[in-house]
Amino acid sequence: DKTVSLRKDLSEMHEWITQAEEEYLERDFEYKTPDELQKAVEELKRAKEEAMQKEVKVKLITDSVNNFIAKAPPAAHEALKKELDVLITSYQRLCSRLKGKCKTLEEVWACWRELLSYLDAEDKWLNEIELKLKATENIQGGAEEISESLDSLERLMRHPEDNRNQIRELAQTLTDGGILDELINEKLEKFNTRWEELQQEAVRRQKSLEQSIQSAQETDKTLRLIQESLAVIDKQLTAYTADRVDAAQVPQEAQ
């Protein structure tokens, strides 16, 4: 009987839709690791593609029902037409929900990858600061050399806040949705602790270098005065020697 066959096709399609809804849309998902999140994205993509492929079958069922209705007595029309309308509505709703959830999860995955890229960029900057601090730890030299090191450190510290703000916003977006919250909080705590420690150390080093510059400038000034004084004495002694003046005659200079 054609009616039985059509109803069987409609029923099987309904069962598939119900199963897909339960499997991909009704379950509560928790993503605690990046692997779980990535796996969920891939599964949902496959589910969305599978649902789209079912469009051919839905169309075949629709054509079969409509062809049957065109030839069958009116008494058989209403029930079958109603079942077909329910099927089409359910199928379209499933496809729409799968597309929406797939898009959302893809955006979440992109958000996670973006967060990692910003963290990586900031870690590289913090590595540079760490190296710079080590290089200026026991710096030797005059005021000019120390001043160059201070300028170099200060240039490095003039780092825009944009990346850190992005990290904060992306992390908040993910954790608000319960996505990778434990992992993200752990990464942020580690990053923020290191950031604060290096910032504080950099400030201390800047003050230390400023003091070293001041001290070196004072030393340079003292040395310059000594050199000028020695030059005057040397000139005087040279003149005395040329005039064959005895040291006993000039006790202060001799002394």
Q: How many CB atoms lie within 10 A of CB 150?
A: 20
Q: At residue 255, does pLDDT exceed 60?
A: no
Residue 248's pLDDT is what?
66
Whole-angstrom Cα distance, residue 111 to residue 100? 16
Residue 3's pLDDT is what?
81
Greater model confidence, 220 or 46: 46
Whole-angstrom Cα distance, residue 207 to residue 104? 49
When pLDDT is averaged across residues 15-31 and rounded to a whole number, the result is 87
Expressed in angstroms, the distance from the first to the final Cα of the chain is 134
- Which of 66-70, 150-154, 197-201 comes out lowest in average pLDDT? 66-70
The predicted-structure confidence for 127-171, as pLDDT tens digits, reads as follows 999 999 998 888 877 888 889 999 999 999 998 889 999 999 999
Residue 252's pLDDT is what?
67
The predicted-structure confidence for 83-119, as pLDDT tens digits, reads as follows 999 999 999 999 999 999 999 999 999 999 999 999 9
Residue 97's pLDDT is what?
95
- The fraction of the chain above a pLDDT of 90, given in percent, is 60
Residue 239's pLDDT is what?
80
Domain spans of the chain, in order of start:
2-212
User: Which residue is it, tokens 């009616």?
Assistant: 3
CATH 1.20.58.60 given to domain 2-212: yes
When pLDDT is averaged across residues 192-218 and rounded to a whole number, the result is 91
Given pLDDT bands bounded at 50, 70 and 90, which one contains residue 29?
confident
Q: Which two structure tokens, joined as six digits, stand for 181? A: 């919250």
Greater model confidence, 71 or 21: 21
Q: Give the three-class secondary structure for 142.
A: coil
Go through 68-97 and write b for each residue having 16 or more CB atoms within 10 A of its CB, e for each that does not.
Answer: bbeeeeeeeeeebeebbeebeebbeebbeb
Given pLDDT bands bounded at 50, 70 and 90, which one contains residue 226?
very high
